[in-house]
Chain A
Amino acid sequence: MICGLKSEIMKLDTSGLESFSTLTAPGDGVVVEFSAPPSFQLPNSNDFDGFVKEAIQMVKPAKGTTTLAFIFKDGVIVAADSRASMGGYISSQSVKKIIEINPYMLGTMAGGAADCQFWHRNLGIKCRLHELANKRRISVTGASKLLANILYSYRGMGLSVGTMIAGWDETGPSLYYVDSEGGRLKGTRFSVGSGSPYAYGVLDNGYRYDLSVEEAVELGRRAIYHATFRDGASGGVVSVYHVGPEGWKKWTGDDVGDLHYQYYPVVPSTVEQEMAEATGA
């Protein structure tokens, strides 16, 4: 060990669990220490690795979704579908996949719904604490790094989160992709979920930095619509938000079925073969 250098194994971030450690009820005769460190129970299983693998597999199909976000000259557009599916069963058509972390930052949900909601809420708490402690808003860079570090410390434990953090701070519009493997990427265009390849196609083709807000909202809506058309695990309602210098604003919430007939109206077409009257026998 080189003297003077810290070398600890990275510690778990347990700040999300602080409130839970005082809720244990000592009814079964076990003495609860008030100074016990935050902890959570491990499952009762001989094969912990196998249990973890199963847990990860159980959550994996739930990345059935399409979310996208892109930066343009007037800010960030964030769009998502609203379908939740469990294998072949659609469990909900009205899931809120765009999470409002604070009035100028949005997060998107892909993967485990509970994981995304909980950790985004936790991130919102941390951001507010930062504001109170430092008398200034946290940057999107800082917020995404906080989330990435938390998710990294739970790496391998079965969290399933594929999120984008979008916001407007002092440096202008920013967009980060953060996932439960601990990866964090800064970029200008991202799409996450099972329908993302389809969305990328429309998004990459129609994207220009100098889109107007209306054109950008329409691009986001169109890209999600096309993804819901081709991907079975995406559907429901397209929500599009715009993040500007004053904060975010929700722009649309259209049902994809209605959008389909809007983009591709039914055209009366000539019948190819007509059934002739049967001649009397």
Chain B
Amino acid sequence: MECVFGLVGKGFAIVVADTSAVHGILVHKTNEEKIMKLDSHKLIAASGEGGDRVQFSEYIHKNVALYQFRNGIPLTTSAAANFTRAELAAALRKNPYAVNILLAGYDNHTGPSLYYIDYLATLHKVDKAAFGYASYLSLSMMDTHYHAGMSLQEAIDLVDKCITEIRSRLVVAPPNFVMKIVDQHGARECAWRQSLPSASPTFC
């Protein structure tokens, strides 16, 4: 029931993920962050099994940081996405990672971009994408209302429409969502949409 989706707007890319950590029928946490800051201008939103999701995201994060230390310049979003795909592909026929990833980034020359990388190491550069059950409910919504060069407010309205749709139509809809955005100023948290106060107080 993990929901991850995202889209590219005018000068920014936004990714949204649910924040429930689920085990069978039990929800252990309702404020788990599944969108990780890969570097100053990249976000990686991952959905999949708990161990794989965190371990693989951290592995990519450390390698991206290592490249920057060794070479003095950060990777472009395209390079980071291709590296991620290559790691998934290398492990695929040995010890596969069960993680689906949306990689959003901003480069100074090429602007914002969003990459769809699934657990079979498929890579596509896209304008809008969704994983999991969210895809059934939000892709058609996004296809209808999306146009190139949406403003931030238009994009947030579209995201809210998708979240409303997920909440009303998905049988075990996650209660809380987090939105993160990346633009020329960097990657940062944009907003939360909570229908249930988090099980853990925010000092955690």
Binding site for B on A (CB under 8 A): 1-2, 4-7, 9-10, 148-149, 151-152, 155-156, 177, 179, 181-190, 196-197, 200, 204, 209
User: Which of B26, B49, B71, B75 touches A181 (beta carbons < 8 Å)?
Assistant: B49
Decide: B50 and A186 in contact? CB cutoff 8 A: no
Decide: A197 and B91 in contact? CB cutoff 8 A: no
**What are the residues of chain A within 8 A of B75 when measuring CB–CB?**
2
| Minimum C-beta distance from B98 to chain A (A) | 10
Inter-chain CA distance A149–B52, complex, in Å, is: 11
The stretch among B62-70, B101-109, B159-167 that forms the contact with chain A is: B62-70
| Minimum C-beta distance from B50 to chain A (A) | 3
| Minimum C-beta distance from B194 to chain A (A) | 16
Inter-chain CA distance A152–B29, complex, in Å, is: 20
**What are the residues of chain B within 8 A of A209 when measuring CB–CB?**
201
Decide: B66 and A188 in contact? CB cutoff 8 A: no
Q: Besides the contacts A5-B66, A204-B199, what 12 more A-B pairs have beta carbons closer than 8 Å?
A: A2-B67, A2-B75, A4-B66, A4-B67, A4-B71, A5-B67, A7-B63, A7-B86, A9-B91, A181-B51, A183-B49, A185-B50
**Majority SS of interface residues in chain B?**
helix
User: Which of B21, B63, B94 touches A185 (beta carbons < 8 Å)?
Assistant: B21
Given A5-B83, A152-B51, A152-B55: A185 and B28 within 8 A (CB)? yes
Given A1-B86, A184-B54, A196-B26: A6 and B66 within 8 A (CB)? yes
Inter-chain CA distance A269–B155, complex, in Å, is: 66
**What are the residues of chain B within 8 A of A156 when measuring CB–CB?**
95
**What are the residues of chain A within 8 A of B29 when measuring CB–CB?**
185, 187
Among B21, B51, B67, B90, residue most surrounded by chain A Cβ atoms (within 10 Å): B51
Task: Determine the residue in chain B with the shortest Cβ distance to A190.
Answer: B28
- At the interface, yes or no: B204 with Cβ under 8 Å from chain A? yes
Q: What are 11 A-B contacts defined by CB distance under 8 Å?
A: A5-B63, A7-B87, A9-B90, A179-B50, A181-B51, A182-B55, A183-B21, A185-B32, A186-B204, A188-B201, A209-B201
**What are the residues of chain B within 8 A of A7 when measuring CB–CB?**
63, 86-87, 90
**What are the residues of chain B within 8 A of A155 when measuring CB–CB?**
51
Residues 98-132 of B, flagged 1 when their CB comes within 8 A of A and 0 if not, give: 00000000000000000000000000000000000
Task: Determine the residue in chain A with the shortest Cβ distance to B82.
Answer: A2
**What are the residues of chain A within 8 A of B90 when measuring CB–CB?**
7, 9
Decide: B26 and A200 in contact? CB cutoff 8 A: yes
**What are the residues of chain A within 8 A of B199 when measuring CB–CB?**
187-189, 204
Decide: B51 and A183 in contact? CB cutoff 8 A: yes
Inter-chain CA distance A252–B26, complex, in Å, is: 28
**What are the residues of chain B within 8 A of A188 when measuring CB–CB?**
199-201, 204
- At the interface, yes or no: B190 with Cβ under 8 Å from chain A? no
User: Which of A5, A183, A204 touches B54 (beta carbons < 8 Å)?
Assistant: A183
